[in-house]
A = this chain, B = another copy of it.
Amino acid sequence: MAAGAEETGPARVSETDRIKAFSDGVFAIVITLLVLELRVPEYHKGGLLEGLRHEGASYLAFAVSFAYIGVIWLNHHALLRLIRGTALALNWINLAILFGAVIIPFPTAVLASAFTHGDAADQRAAVALYALAAALMSAPWLAFFAYLHRHPALRAAEVDPDHVRAQRARPLTGLVLYGLSGLLGWFVNPVLGLILIIVMIAYHAVTSEGLRAGPLGRLWGRRRG
């Protein structure tokens, strides 16, 4: 199990495996912790149903954030398929990606609270916070692709440099458009901002296996084992 001095072999595989296992653990926990924000409402005898109905925004926020973390997990999944080894800097970039995922329950709870108990100003603040978190979360993905581009030795054998370069478009889009969602939610209308956030999550869902870059489409094709 110890790292061998040689560059190849089972030890190397084990090393990326441990990053995968740790990351998957974090994603699994954070997607599950979301449920802790669904609280039994305060109610008087006979008022439970009414109380539950009042919490509608919490359920929506829960569902959106569940899908969002699912999307991040699938994207991360595809991300780690690009590498065959790791390095200290890459470990830290990965921790920054996980940081972005781990905080999601917090803006989710703020969002649910603002749409349940707050007024329009609170909703604007909550949508802007969610969008800000999502935008900042895109930055370490950019760093990951940039690092991988500069260190070809870490790239998995089958991965085309052009493919790695092409992927930068997605976190850049995320950075810009999540930022825009926040501005939209803050200056125009919180519900519009929220809708753009949901559209962006759907965009990342659809492209989770990577943007096609010509000849590489084959590799990212439908069936994988």
Residues on A facing B (Cβ under 8 Å): 1-5, 7-8, 11-13, 15-18, 20-22, 24-36, 38-40, 43, 45-49, 52, 62-63, 66-67, 70, 73-74, 77, 80-88, 91-92, 95, 98-99, 102-103, 105-106, 109-110, 113-114, 117-119, 121-122, 125-126, 129, 151, 153-154, 156-159, 205, 208-209, 218-219, 222-225
Contacts and interface: CB of A to CB of B under 8 A. Distances in A.
Given A49-B122, A85-B225, A118-B45, A106 B3 contact: no
Given A18-B20, A110-B48, A84 B2 contact: yes
Contact of A1 (B3, B33, B49, B80): B80
A128 B114 CA distance: 28
Q: In this complex, which of A46, A49, A85, A158 has the most chain B Cβ atoms within 10 angstroms of its Cβ?
A: A49
A77 B32 contact: no
B223 A85 contact: yes
